[in-house]
Structure 1
Amino acid sequence: MATSIQQTLIEQTVQAVKELYAADIPAAQITLQETRKEFEGQITIVTFPVTRFSKKSPEQTGTEIGTFLKERISSIADFNVIKGFLNISLSDAYWIGLANTSMLEDNYGKFPANGRKLMVEYSSPNTNKPLHLGHIRNNLLGYSVAEILKAYGYDVIKANLVNDRGIHICKSMLAWQKYGNGETPESSGLKGDHLVGKYYVIFDKEYKKEIDALKAEGQLEEEAKKNAPLMKEAQLMLQKWEANDEEVIQLWKTMNGWVYAGFEKTYKQLGVDFDKFYYESNTYLLGKDIIQEGLDKGVFFKKEDNSVWIDLTDEGLDQKLVLRGDGTSVYITQDLGTAQLKYDEFQMDESIYVVGNEQDYHFKVLFLILKKIGKSWAEGLFHLSYGMVDLPSGKMKSREGTVVDADDLMQEMLETAKTRTEELGKTDDFSEEEKADLYDTIGMGALKYFLLKVDPKKRLLFDPNESVDFQGHTGPFIQYTHARIKSVLRRADYSSSVAVVNPEQLSVYERDLINALSNYPAILETAAKEFSPAHLANYVYEIAKIYNKFYHEESILKAEDETAKIFRLHLSAISAKVIAESMRLLGIRVPERM
């Protein structure tokens, strides 16, 4: 989003080229960027594209344009030219005016409704085991993207497609039936999702024993896997489920109920929510109508065994099965049907699927098929692909030895936050309830910030200890900065209703802070357009750093006069507001004190 000063600079640079060099340059060719820290100025105009009209050196061209702009724009205090870069210094009056206008508004940085509807689908858990570290990144990413897009003006629907059926669900059901002795979450003291996950692991162990026994009898491994009695029983259970067998359906409902109660607790602690749940048990038969539509349009073709395929070799992909020869669905069949179901229900303009990058190929095929069939809304589909999360070996224990459980990780984060905070002696005057809330705020803030500050596409290494650092590039550092600002405002008994008297001039620290705060709407827009909370996460860290520099270099409560004191309190209040709102969009709470 171009601010008014940026727009003015672009328009006047176009005019300068017209008047100085009798040439027309498109506004799109005028490049503005933030001035590098080692040079004077705040906004830089790249003059290289103009030299083909001026027929002069970049330095001379920059000087001529700079002189033209300074005469026309009162907000420009000075300029300097470094090679092909024209660095503009804006006046103190401009920055003071900025701090006293839009930044004062309650809705600063929020965009008006744009009339577009968008769905963000995330989480998508299986009901045979608890959520794990990968799910945490998925949930935090989906939630934050949804909140950022809301602030950007979209009408957002948060959706969760639950994988609640299939052979993997039957495995945990069968193991509980055979080995569970009626165990329940209440009798075991386990969260429901952990209890069901326990039996999924038991199935796997018993299944491997049967495979080994059959191999010892001379069967090959693939043969043994198919012939193992447990697998045959699980497949029979799935057939009974699909035939709506009363006993199997009742067990499925009971065990899924345990899982949902467990998920609900995990979601609550993670601080994520959903507007709409879809269940694979209701959608797995969808899509066959779309297959027929594709056959009628010649998009699909049948093979001799009656299976239905699409040929995507012209798009650099391959042939893809979309319906088995016996008429049963494959995974993409139901995804086609679910996409149509979601659009029919909400008529959204865009739909974002938050799914790991191992599914990149699947979504390329899915979107391509929908476009080829002629679904106009398929142009609005987007796969928000993200990388895996790794942990330093030995840092975390997991129940199954391979996957890091989400609840275990969150508990470890709380304990780490408690230890670190108590070491610093910052909670001596807190009640036990206040301490518990603070440890949760810091621990979850550390986890969320560490996962969201990295571009979603990148694989990341999550170090729980490094994330709870009050001085590093972390959530707790930003939270501590917010608490520091709030402490200053409390001690000053600051009220936003106090009239601000403008100082005659600004220090470099005040100007840097106003400049950084003024970038908030543009950063929010970038984060929304790129579906990347990382932009906002890294921006709010910069705000915290710049504020702390301002805090250390400028006296606030003991300022040289009342005008300076009130103005600096005013800047502090804006800083707190921008930090709190940025962190809220990341799903992170900020404490009033710590």
Structure 2
Amino acid sequence: MYAFEKLRSETANILSAAGLKDVVVEIPPENIDADLAIPCFTYAKSLKKSPVEIAKNVAESVKIPKNSIVGKITAMGPYVNVYASDKYFCDSVDEIITDADKYAHKKPVKKTMVVDMSAPNIAKPMSVGHLRSTIIGDSIARIYSSLGWNVIRDNHLGDKKKVEKNPIPELLSLYVKFHEKSDKDSELDEKAREEFKKLENGDKENTKLWKWFIDVSLIEFKKTYSELDVDFDLWLGESFYNDMNRAIVDEALKKGIAKKDDGAIIIKYEDYKNIPPFLIQKKDGATLYSTRDLSTIKYRVGEFKPDKIVYAVGGEQAQHFIQLFNAAEMLGYAKKEALIHVGFGLISLPEGKMSTRKGRVIYLQDLLNKSYKHAEKIINEKNPELKNKKKVAKKIGVGAVKFNDLSQNRVKNIMFNWDKMLSFEGDTGPYLQYTHARACSILRKIGITKSPKFVVTQMAEEKDLILHLSKYLNSVELAASLYEPHHIATYLLALAHKFNLFYQKCPVMSETDEKIKNSRIALVFASKQVIANGLYLLGIDAVEEM
């Protein structure tokens, strides 16, 4: 248990001994002068006293044990305010330095999660629209891994598309042209469906062509994933479940969950009137996304026995997942509470929603290439002597792109803007990378590679920084519980601001008192470490020089 968790626990025990039961310990807002706060409103009825009087009585009657990390307890209106002791600040820094890159990581909890993420369609380049699923899913996987879960990343490739699509990049234009013509000629769509049905039924020529599409596509996909530092444990595309789909339909019919409807087969939700029927087989016998998604759930549950299956998929698919999760529960595959749709807003262009069919799209590789050039330009202007400029520029460029997305609440729509996407000014990924590099630079100038012991705090900025450092795990657990990485991004920005203020107000290299200087050096080490750990959970490299 880390110092912050201990502080909350000891506070609850002390207040319980003073007469308060079921103590709720809160983190007060930044403008409140307290490290923890306990509201007394809920006790007014049972104790037949005002919250103000209860807080005053508790503060006057508490007994703080010797050597406690709780330093002081006072009353402030209807709140009991708690202040940490000097021991708390020393312990907080020491545990960060001791655990280093494993700080705030938890021991294995014997729980498994499958994260369904990225899932680009074969035979066309990945667009900026694929960015969100890829990096949100990756961040959630990293967060849960740090909390002790066994996480399986599955790239559920869209490799069951109509075979009018052609390999990337040469024949992409044919894909656009096909849809331009099919909008005017419905027979083309019908021919495409026929070819799709032949593929599903194992036609040799179509199968050979489809496998070629996959091979060509994966070469480009893996190049982009490598640059994003995103890995997968599985690459089981939709086609992997081809042999299972008929059995799913038959099982649903046999159990009376599905029924025939005008030649097609649907699942109807009798107990949920607001959920529309779920089509699992077309009139021509072909299966759909819905069938393959049910096959996928059944396979994952049987193969991995996951406690959770998380789908990092756009929010516009919310209705589909409501249907899917309910159908999976009705079939006995999984409890719908274990199936989580992590929806997110769309990235759109000023001229409208992205659409490869209409040629209205920004390709992800183009965005990354521009970010690298932009970063290298800035490095040449500000630090032309920097070694490995191109390598550092890639890390900074990827950091800018990822943080621009992950720092925002995932449910919000994003209007694509080149300047904002590539911005290095203000509260950005490069700002956090710069703060980490600044801490590294301080330690290089001092000529120290191992942190000294933290023993004393002198300034308010030091205590404020340490208290924030100690709350890092709290931000990670909050991000995990809500599947929202932006809570970590927000925490890191506040940490960077507090670190830079600390360095401005509290001399490190010029300090003459050895104990104070060593403690501040230790605080630089701790800050650098937590920034690096947090950036890792966002999939961003912490550079040492830039």
The reply to whether TM is greater than 0.5 is yes
> Which residue number corresponds to residue 365 of structure 1?
323
1 CA distance for matches of 2:336 and 2:299?
13
Given the superposition, is the C-alpha separation of residues 550 and 470 from structure 1 closer, same or farther in structure 2, using an over 3 Å criterion? farther
Contact 1:70 1:76 in 2 (8 A): no
Q: How far is the alpha carbon of 1:531 from its aligned partner? A: 1.7
Q: How far is the alpha carbon of 1:133 from its aligned partner? A: 1.2
From 55, 58, 68, give the equivalent of 2:48.
55
2 CA distance for matches of 1:51 and 1:359?
46
1:435 alignment partner AA: K
> Which residue number corresponds to residue 488 of structure 1?
442
Contact 2:400 2:424 in 1 (8 A): no
From 88, 93, 106, give the equivalent of 1:94.
88
From 157, 166, 169, give the equivalent of 1:194.
169
Given the superposition, is the C-alpha separation of residues 390 and 302 from structure 1 closer, same or farther in structure 2, using an over 3 Å criterion? closer
> Which residue number corresponds to residue 218 of structure 1?
none
> Which residue number corresponds to residue 143 of structure 1?
138
Q: How far is the alpha carbon of 1:283 from its aligned partner? A: 1.7
Contact 2:142 2:537 in 1 (8 A): yes
2:37 alignment partner AA: T
Q: Secondary structure at the match of 1:269?
A: helix
1:57 alignment partner AA: S
Q: How far is the alpha carbon of 1:243 from its aligned partner? A: 4.7
Given the superposition, is the C-alpha separation of residues 476 and 258 from structure 1 closer, same or farther in structure 2, using an over 3 Å criterion? same
Contact 1:370 1:378 in 2 (8 A): yes
Q: How far is the alpha carbon of 1:31 from its aligned partner? A: 2.5
Contact 2:115 2:151 in 1 (8 A): yes
Q: How far is the alpha carbon of 1:583 from its aligned partner? A: 0.5
Q: How far is the alpha carbon of 1:463 from its aligned partner? A: 3.8
Q: Which moved more, 1:135-144 or 1:49-58?
A: 49-58
Given the superposition, is the C-alpha separation of residues 54 and 306 from structure 1 closer, same or farther in structure 2, using an over 3 Å criterion? closer
Given the superposition, is the C-alpha separation of residues 515 and 467 from structure 1 closer, same or farther in structure 2, using an over 3 Å criterion? farther
User: Superposed, which structure 2 residues align to 1:17-32 within 5 Å?
Assistant: 17=19, 25=21, 27=22, 30-32=23-25
> Which residue number corresponds to residue 502 of structure 1?
455
1 CA distance for matches of 2:273 and 2:139?
33
> Which residue number corresponds to residue 9 of structure 1?
11
Residues 1:131 and 2:131 aligned together: no
1:407 alignment partner AA: Q
2 CA distance for matches of 1:166 and 1:285?
16
1 CA distance for matches of 2:258 and 2:181?
42
Contact 2:451 2:522 in 1 (8 A): no
Given the superposition, is the C-alpha separation of residues 39 and 329 from structure 1 closer, same or farther in structure 2, using an over 3 Å criterion? closer
> Which residue number corresponds to residue 34 of structure 1?
27
Given the superposition, is the C-alpha separation of residues 130 and 324 from structure 1 closer, same or farther in structure 2, using an over 3 Å criterion? same
1 CA distance for matches of 2:146 and 2:197?
46
User: Superposed, which structure 2 residues align to 1:293-442 within 5 Å?
Assistant: 293-303=251-261, 305=263, 307-312=265-270, 314-376=272-334, 378-391=336-349, 401-423=359-381, 425-426=382-383, 428-431=384-387, 434-442=388-396
Q: Secondary structure at the match of 2:13?
A: helix
Q: Secondary structure at the match of 1:449?
A: helix
Given the superposition, is the C-alpha separation of residues 59 and 357 from structure 1 closer, same or farther in structure 2, using an over 3 Å criterion? same
Contact 2:11 2:70 in 1 (8 A): no
Contact 1:387 1:457 in 2 (8 A): yes
- Taking only the aligned residue pairs, the percentage that are identical comes to 29
Q: How far is the alpha carbon of 1:3 from its aligned partner? A: 0.5
Q: What is the CA deviation profile of residues 67-102 of structure 1, one whole-angstrom value per residue up to 9, with x for unaligned ones?
A: 233545744444443322222222223212332245
Q: Secondary structure at the match of 1:119?
A: strand
1 CA distance for matches of 2:247 and 2:182?
38
Residues 1:256 and 2:214 aligned together: yes
> Which residue number corresponds to residue 269 of structure 1?
227
Given the superposition, is the C-alpha separation of residues 417 and 356 from structure 1 closer, same or farther in structure 2, using an over 3 Å criterion? same
Given the superposition, is the C-alpha separation of residues 549 and 315 from structure 1 closer, same or farther in structure 2, using an over 3 Å criterion? farther
Given the superposition, is the C-alpha separation of residues 332 and 510 from structure 1 closer, same or farther in structure 2, using an over 3 Å criterion? same
Given the superposition, is the C-alpha separation of residues 231 and 98 from structure 1 closer, same or farther in structure 2, using an over 3 Å criterion? closer
Given the superposition, is the C-alpha separation of residues 392 and 511 from structure 1 closer, same or farther in structure 2, using an over 3 Å criterion? farther
Q: How far is the alpha carbon of 1:256 from its aligned partner? A: 3.0
Contact 1:70 1:78 in 2 (8 A): no
Contact 1:144 1:587 in 2 (8 A): yes
Q: How far is the alpha carbon of 1:276 from its aligned partner? A: 0.5
Q: Secondary structure at the match of 1:489?
A: helix
Q: How far is the alpha carbon of 1:502 from its aligned partner? A: 1.5
Residues 1:116 and 2:111 aligned together: yes
> Which residue number corresponds to residue 428 of structure 2?
474
Residues 1:448 and 2:402 aligned together: yes
User: Superposed, which structure 2 residues align to 1:174-213 within 5 Å?
Assistant: 193-207=168-182, 211=184
Q: How far is the alpha carbon of 1:139 from its aligned partner? A: 0.4
Contact 1:355 1:386 in 2 (8 A): yes
Q: Which moved more, 1:312-321 or 1:252-261?
A: 312-321
Residues 1:567 and 2:519 aligned together: yes
Q: How far is the alpha carbon of 1:234 from its aligned partner? A: 3.4
Residues 1:544 and 2:502 aligned together: no
2 CA distance for matches of 1:419 and 1:299?
61
Given the superposition, is the C-alpha separation of residues 79 and 492 from structure 1 closer, same or farther in structure 2, using an over 3 Å criterion? same
Query: TM-score, normalising length from structure 1?
Result: 0.85
Larger Rg: 1
Contact 1:287 1:335 in 2 (8 A): no
Aligned residues: 541
The gaps in structure 1 that reach 5 residues or longer are 19-24, 174-191, 212-224
Q: How far is the alpha carbon of 1:308 from its aligned partner? A: 4.0
Q: Secondary structure at the match of 2:313?
A: strand
Q: How far is the alpha carbon of 1:585 from its aligned partner? A: 1.2
Q: How far is the alpha carbon of 1:35 from its aligned partner? A: 2.7
1 CA distance for matches of 2:365 and 2:262?
50
Q: Secondary structure at the match of 1:138?
A: helix
> Which residue number corresponds to residue 219 of structure 1?
none
Q: What is the CA deviation profile of residues 314-343 of structure 1, one whole-angstrom value per residue up to 9, with x for unaligned ones?
A: 352133333345543232122111211122
Residues 1:528 and 2:522 aligned together: no
1 CA distance for matches of 2:334 and 2:513?
63
> Which residue number corresponds to residue 85 of structure 1?
79
> Which residue number corresponds to residue 186 of structure 2?
226
Q: What's the RMSD between the two structures over aligned residues?
A: 2.7
Q: Which moved more, 1:51-60 or 1:41-50?
A: 51-60
Q: What is the CA deviation profile of residues 267-307 of structure 1, one whole-angstrom value per residue up to 9, with x for unaligned ones?
A: 11222111111122232452332333333333333346473
2:89 alignment partner AA: W
1 CA distance for matches of 2:264 and 2:210?
33
Contact 2:197 2:286 in 1 (8 A): no
Q: Secondary structure at the match of 1:171?
A: coil
Query: TM-score, normalising length from structure 2?
Result: 0.92
1:531 alignment partner AA: Y
Given the superposition, is the C-alpha separation of residues 252 and 350 from structure 1 closer, same or farther in structure 2, using an over 3 Å criterion? same
Q: What is the CA deviation profile of residues 15-51 of structure 1, one whole-angstrom value per residue up to 9, with x for unaligned ones?
A: 2226xxxxxx3x2xx3222233333221111111122
> Which residue number corresponds to residue 65 of structure 1?
58
Given the superposition, is the C-alpha separation of residues 236 and 393 from structure 1 closer, same or farther in structure 2, using an over 3 Å criterion? closer
The gaps in structure 2 that reach 5 residues or longer are none
Given the superposition, is the C-alpha separation of residues 200 and 449 from structure 1 closer, same or farther in structure 2, using an over 3 Å criterion? same
2 CA distance for matches of 1:342 and 1:501?
48
From 538, 541, 544, give the equivalent of 1:586.
538
Contact 1:323 1:330 in 2 (8 A): yes
Contact 2:17 2:62 in 1 (8 A): no
1:172 alignment partner AA: K
Q: Which moved more, 1:68-77 or 1:280-289?
A: 68-77
> Which residue number corresponds to residue 157 of structure 1?
152
